[in-house]
């Protein structure tokens, strides 16, 4: 099945993923800086990024570790932030589920917000892509993301406290996520889901262990699905 279509799919993925470097580089660097502030060396920061590859979750874990909360709570909270990955995994299964197991494991390991967002849109728009082309696109979209995530974690850890916190780098992640949400609000159902999730996230923020995030996300998804069911929209 390998052919020009596969190759071009790979490079289309690379090209589509490239703009996210502007998100990944500062964000990975920031994690390195925060890790170094917390007393981690570059190797430990890199191990963190290699094992987890998920910014929000890594930040959550690091912050809670410093607050000396019980390990179980640290893990539960950080995993809760990553629970959306299970949803991404399920959402990509119709497209990538026929791949051999080891390729599915590769996709699973590298699955992050950005390549998910790109792939789900791509696979929905171009339904006639072959399985090999889809896999190639996903890998292509991963290239500008994960390797740079590892590398710039190390850069951040080495640069360390040389970067002043007043730069507002803490806000890079929220802005990046918001910028990704905007184009996704295509239908009334999508807008309803986002609105319900937003309001619920603030309403349930009092819940311990980041449970508010899970409740809000669940309510938002249910609201979107319900609107779609009533309107019959896709």
Partner 1 sequence: MIDRTELWIVIVALGLGSFGLRFVFLGLVGDRPLPEWLTRHLRYTAVAVLPALVMPLVVWPSATEGETDPVRLTAAGVTLAAAYFIKNVILSMLLGGLVLAGGAYWFG
171-230 positions binding partner 1, by CB under 8 A: 171-185, 189-191, 193-198, 200-202, 205, 212-213, 216-225, 228-229
Candidates 2-10, 34-42, 140-148, 152-160: pick the segment binding partner 1 (CB under 8 A).
Answer: 34-42
Q: Among residues 24, 25, 33, 92, which is the contact residue for partner 1, using CB under 8 A?
A: 92
Tell me how far, at minimum, the Cβ of 34 lies from partner 1, in Å: 11
**Smallest separation (angstroms) from partner 1 to the CB of 73:** 11
Interaction of residue 1 with partner 1, rule CB under 8 A: no
Distance between first and last Cα of the chain: 31
Binding track, positions 121-160, relative to partner 1; x by CB under 8 A: ----------------------------------------
Output the smallest distance, CB 2 to partner 1, in A. 20
Binding to partner 1 by CB under 8 A, coded x per residue (else -) over 13-32, reads ------xx-xx---------
| Binds partner 1 (CB under 8 A): choice among 3, 7, 15, 98 | 98
């Amino acid at each position: 099945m390998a052919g020009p279509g596969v190759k071009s799919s790979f490079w289309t993925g690379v090209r589509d993923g490239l703009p996210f470097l502007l998100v990944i580089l500062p964000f990975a660097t920031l994690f390195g800086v925060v890790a170094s502030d917390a007393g981690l060396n570059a190797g430990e920061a890199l191990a963190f990024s290699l094992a987890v590859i998920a910014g929000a979750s890594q930040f959550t874990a690091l912050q809670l570790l410093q607050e000396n909360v019980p390990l179980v709570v640290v893990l539960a909270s950080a995993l809760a932030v990553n629970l959306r990955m299970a949803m991404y995994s399920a959402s990509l299964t119709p497209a990538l589920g026929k791949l051999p197991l080891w390729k599915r494991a590769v996709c699973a390991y590298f699955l992050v917000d950005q390549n998910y967002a790109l792939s789900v849109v791509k696979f929905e728009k171009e339904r006639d892509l072959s399985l090999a082309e889809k896999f190639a696109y996903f890998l292509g979209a991963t290239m500008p993301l994960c390797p740079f995530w590892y590398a710039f974690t190390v850069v951040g850890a080495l640069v360390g406290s040389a970067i002043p916190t007043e730069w507002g780098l803490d806000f890079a992640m929220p802005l990046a996520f918001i910028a990704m949400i905007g184009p996704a609000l295509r239908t009334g159902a999508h807008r309803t889901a986002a609105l319900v999730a937003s309001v619920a996230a603030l309403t349930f923020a009092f819940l311990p262990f980041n449970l508010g995030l899970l409740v809000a996300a669940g309510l938002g998804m249910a609201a979107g699905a319900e609107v779609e069911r009533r309107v019959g929209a896709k």
